[in-house]
Amino acid sequence: VAVAGSADIGSHCTIGAGALILGHLSICDHAHVSADTVISRSILKPGTYTGMFPADENESWARNTAVVRHLADLVDRVRALEKLAKNKEKGDG
Protein backbone atom coordinates (compact mmCIF):
# COMPACT_ATOMS: atom_id res chain seq x y z
CA VAL A 1 0.00 0.00 0.00
CA ALA A 2 1.26 3.48 -0.86
CA VAL A 3 -0.31 6.65 0.52
CA ALA A 4 0.78 9.95 -1.00
CA GLY A 5 0.50 13.41 0.49
CA SER A 6 -1.56 13.91 3.59
CA ALA A 7 -4.48 11.62 2.81
CA ASP A 8 -7.05 11.35 5.59
CA ILE A 9 -8.26 7.76 5.99
CA GLY A 10 -11.39 7.28 8.09
CA SER A 11 -12.19 4.70 10.75
CA HIS A 12 -13.01 1.06 10.00
CA CYS A 13 -11.46 1.18 6.51
CA THR A 14 -9.55 -1.60 4.81
CA ILE A 15 -6.94 -0.99 2.13
CA GLY A 16 -5.96 -4.00 0.00
CA ALA A 17 -2.40 -4.97 -0.85
CA GLY A 18 -0.82 -2.92 -3.62
CA ALA A 19 -3.45 -0.17 -3.46
CA LEU A 20 -2.34 3.39 -4.17
CA ILE A 21 -3.88 6.46 -2.57
CA LEU A 22 -2.82 9.52 -4.54
CA GLY A 23 -2.64 13.13 -3.40
CA HIS A 24 -4.23 15.02 -0.56
CA LEU A 25 -7.65 13.42 -0.37
CA SER A 26 -10.09 11.94 2.14
CA ILE A 27 -11.49 8.47 2.52
CA CYS A 28 -14.67 8.31 4.60
CA ASP A 29 -15.34 5.84 7.42
CA HIS A 30 -16.26 2.27 6.40
CA ALA A 31 -14.68 2.48 2.94
CA HIS A 32 -12.97 -0.62 1.63
CA VAL A 33 -10.37 -0.40 -1.14
CA SER A 34 -9.64 -3.60 -3.05
CA ALA A 35 -6.13 -4.82 -3.79
CA ASP A 36 -4.24 -3.00 -6.56
CA THR A 37 -6.85 -0.24 -6.73
CA VAL A 38 -5.75 3.32 -7.48
CA ILE A 39 -7.65 6.01 -5.55
CA SER A 40 -7.25 9.35 -7.33
CA ARG A 41 -10.10 11.31 -5.74
CA SER A 42 -11.76 11.44 -2.35
CA ILE A 43 -14.17 8.68 -1.34
CA LEU A 44 -17.18 10.29 0.32
CA LYS A 45 -19.59 7.35 0.55
CA PRO A 46 -18.99 4.10 2.49
CA GLY A 47 -18.66 1.00 0.35
CA THR A 48 -16.19 -1.13 -1.55
CA TYR A 49 -14.07 0.46 -4.28
CA THR A 50 -12.19 -1.43 -6.97
CA GLY A 51 -10.45 -0.22 -10.09
CA MET A 52 -7.48 -1.20 -12.16
CA PHE A 53 -6.37 -1.19 -15.77
CA PRO A 54 -3.50 -2.91 -17.52
CA ALA A 55 -0.68 -0.63 -18.60
CA ASP A 56 -1.25 1.14 -21.91
CA GLU A 57 0.08 4.18 -23.77
CA ASN A 58 -1.03 7.19 -21.73
CA GLU A 59 -3.27 8.73 -24.41
CA SER A 60 -5.10 5.44 -24.96
CA TRP A 61 -5.40 4.82 -21.22
CA ALA A 62 -6.85 8.29 -20.60
CA ARG A 63 -9.42 7.89 -23.40
CA ASN A 64 -10.45 4.41 -22.22
CA THR A 65 -10.73 5.52 -18.60
CA ALA A 66 -13.05 8.36 -19.59
CA VAL A 67 -15.23 5.96 -21.60
CA VAL A 68 -15.43 3.35 -18.84
CA ARG A 69 -16.75 5.92 -16.37
CA HIS A 70 -19.77 6.46 -18.65
CA LEU A 71 -20.52 2.86 -19.67
CA ALA A 72 -23.54 2.41 -17.40
CA ASP A 73 -25.14 5.59 -18.78
CA LEU A 74 -24.40 4.48 -22.35
CA VAL A 75 -25.99 1.07 -21.73
CA ASP A 76 -29.13 2.79 -20.40
CA ARG A 77 -29.27 5.05 -23.47
CA VAL A 78 -28.84 2.13 -25.89
CA ARG A 79 -31.59 0.15 -24.14
CA ALA A 80 -33.94 3.14 -24.33
CA LEU A 81 -33.19 3.57 -28.06
CA GLU A 82 -33.71 -0.15 -28.70
CA LYS A 83 -37.05 -0.03 -26.89
CA LEU A 84 -38.08 3.05 -28.88
CA ALA A 85 -37.10 1.35 -32.16
CA LYS A 86 -38.99 -1.83 -31.22
CA ASN A 87 -42.11 0.16 -30.31
CA LYS A 88 -41.86 2.07 -33.59
CA GLU A 89 -41.62 -1.22 -35.54
CA LYS A 90 -44.73 -2.54 -33.79
CA GLY A 91 -46.58 0.67 -34.64
CA ASP A 92 -45.56 0.49 -38.30
CA GLY A 93 -46.58 -3.18 -38.66
pLDDT digits (tens, 9 = 90+) for 34-53: 999 999 899 999 999 998 77
pLDDT at residue 92 tops 70 = no
- How far is residue 57's CA from residue 82's CA, in Å, rounded to a whole number? 34
Three-state secondary structure call for residue 76: helix
pTM of the predicted model over 0.75: no
Burial of 66 (0-12, 13-18, 19+ CB in 10 A): exposed
What does the pLDDT look like over 70-91, one tens digit per residue? 999 999 999 999 999 999 998 8
Sketch the domain layout of the chain as residue ranges. Answer: 1-52, 54-93
DSSP assignments along 34-46, one per residue? -TT-EE-S-B-S-
